[in-house]
Amino acid sequence: MSPLDASAATAPRARVDPTRFEHHGVARVDDYFWLRERGSPEVTGYLEQENRYTEVVMAPTAELQDTLFEEIKGRIKQTDMSVPYRQGDYTYFTRYEDGREYPIHCRRPLNVTDDDAEAEQILVDVNVVAEGQDFCQVAGRVVSPDQRRMAFATDLEGRRIYTVRIKDLDSGELLEDVLENVTPNVTWAADNQTLFYTRQDPTTLRWHQIYRHRLGTPQEEDVLVYQEDDDTFNCEVGKSRSKRFLLIASSQTVSTEYRYLDAETPDGEFRVFLPRERDHEYHLDHFQGRFYIRTNREARNFKLMETAEEAPSEERWSELVAHRDDVLLGAFELFDGYLVLQERREGLVHLHVRPWAGEGAHDIAFDEPVFDSYIGVNREPATRTLRFGYESLTTPSSTYDYDMASRRRTLLKREEVLGDFDPERYQAERLFATAADGERVPISLVARKGAPRDGSAPLLLYGYGAYGISMDPAFNSARLSLLDRGFVYAIAHIRGGQELGRRWYDAGRLGQKQSTFSDFIACAEFLVRERRSDVDRLFAMGGSAGGLLMGAVLNQRPDLFAGAVAQVPFVDVVTTMLDDTIPLTTGEYDEWGNPNERQAFEEMLAYSPYDNVTAQDYPALLVLAGLHDSQVQYWEPAKWVARLRALKTDDRPLLLKTNMDAGHGGVSGRYRRYREVALQYAFLLAQAGLA
């Protein structure tokens, strides 16, 4: 198959209607600002024109897309079930049925076997909830302490605005209680009658209020128990490991504050655990009469502290796990006899087990050079068994039970990949590129064994680099469709993530954001130099903040890539961060900067993809958007494509596909989303000349 022909149809041209902005003495003209008129016939019409154009240009790949979809779908076990986990007197699990898009969430009493179908109780069948809907997301499933009721949240649009219902698990009936226009963040008090939930600002969608709801009363009578007035903070409510305390966490990029309340007295007043301070982040939990605090106070990579329940003041804290310059302390789990730590070392997540008494602290050993491990669902602390997950670029997602005393692990389930999948056919590697400032940037890479190393292999380089989110080397069965056709797949672990500790994140945000883009470029140059691919065979992919990465990199080094896929890309950085009426803006000043301040304005203007589009050749580009996206508004990718189309000097494909029924995460359903994956893969394969 030859590369796609962009002249197969006339590309849409968005109407030019200049809007002038001036900040800090700098004038900017936005020709396509009008595209943010959500719901207007002209905007809808333009998006639909772009969709039709994409369909026409991609038409030669229609058969390939169908093949890819069936291939990807064919690897998925149609009737499947998750590993049950214990909570109280039941085991809870999720299962799928052949041909159905959505999960069925269930439970069984402890004293019955897994093959006793009659003992299964369906908590919520999302297929039923989704009937007649173009989109459906069920989240926030929380069972009451007595396990007789369950609250769950439903979003039928994709904008992450939910409705919460409560189901009586004895009768199977829904209660009359309906909580509308809320988040999926819901927690029960100990009395089984009181729910705490979070509401968002109706305009910005910032989680800013915690309400108390008494079963049987209308939502209008719910009590506001906490409001977060600082518009750079979000808040949420949860419960401690001990179930003793309700916890309200207020957080933003560099600061945290917790409040706590005895779960037995839901009508009481929440107390502040430790007042917020700039640049102090902490995570609070409670277990066996003590508070545990993961904190970055004089500990850039965090340390773990503890204190008696009756003495929570900071001067009474004692150190449990010390800070280490080369280890990032992540999540922790508290058991009666053990403490389990999730630690990131040299870019990989390790699980460390420590008994509360005696010797025997150890890591769980893993053999592969590139992997991802994580603490699983462990609802019951009175056990010496740890549930954990493991996967790699070649090993499917695996669930283990680990005896922390004997150090024996039991594989409970490994994602079954149907067809002729054999992990021995693939090889994963850990490589390092050298950035412009001398930093060594990790790269995780996977390919079929025997893949050529003469520059002839097409290679897809993925990146993100923001919010301290690390892109771990996880397994993806859909990706096999690329690998089996000769593609190499690589992840650039660039600054802005947290792969190499907190310093890695700090070095890729605010005024140092250019490091993120420079790192990605350095990884691409390294892979070309090492003959893993070549500039006419090298492709890039990223989504959301990773879409920002795509936009910046393509502006700065368009010559380095043959093509790119930008998924829901955050590309109009300056305009968005100047608009505090849309979601996410104020809460992200410490990530991107506050452009109301001149220095931050100039820094982000220097890389903002939309503002830096110029008259030059660009690689082939497929851009994906969601009409109901509440995180990256649809108009950002739409405006970006319009400006690129007006200015770029090449004739390579520039395609925009807006999903008119979905939000930031794309379409719902386990099969429908693979249609989008098939579209992206077909674009890459066609541009690489493969079929």
- Cα–Cα distance list, 583 to 117, 173, 394 (Å): 45, 35, 37
Exactly one of 519, 629, 630, 668 is catalytic; which is it? Answer: 629
267 is catalytic: no
Exactly one of 255, 544, 608, 668 is catalytic; which is it? Answer: 544
Who's near 471: CB < 8 A, 6+ residues apart?
462, 463, 464, 491, 493, 497, 499
CA distance 574 to 596: 10
Q: Which of 408, 407, 412, 368 is nearest to 391 (CA)?
A: 368
HSE, side-chain direction, 13 A CA sphere, residue 502: 20
**Beta strand 348-355 with 338-345: parallel, antiparallel or unpaired?**
antiparallel
CA distance 602 to 26: 9
Beta carbons of 164 and 155 less than 8 angstroms apart = no
**Buried-state track 380-401, b at ≥16 Cβ within 10 A, e below 16:** ebebebbbbbbbbbbbbbbbbb
CA distance 178 to 151: 10
- 8: exposed, middle or buried (C-beta count within 10 Å: 0-12, 13-18, 19+)? middle
664 is catalytic: yes
CA distance 22 to 28: 6
Residue 430 sits at the vertex; the CA angle it makes with 429 and 431, to the nearest 5 degrees, is 115
CA distance 680 to 547: 14
Exactly one of 222, 372, 664, 668 is catalytic; which is it? Answer: 664
Beta carbons of 471 and 461 less than 8 angstroms apart = no
Who's near 365: CB < 8 A, 6+ residues apart?
none
CA distance 211 to 149: 19
CA distance 84 to 425: 31
- Write out the two tokens for 42: 């002209």
CA distance 567 to 669: 18
CB atoms within 10 A of CB 326: 10
HSE, side-chain direction, 13 A CA sphere, residue 30: 21
DSSP assignment string, 119-143: G-EEEEEHHHHTTT-S--EEEEEEE
At residue 236, the 3 state secondary structure works out as strand
CA distance 126 to 672: 15
- Active-site residues: which are they? 544, 629, 664
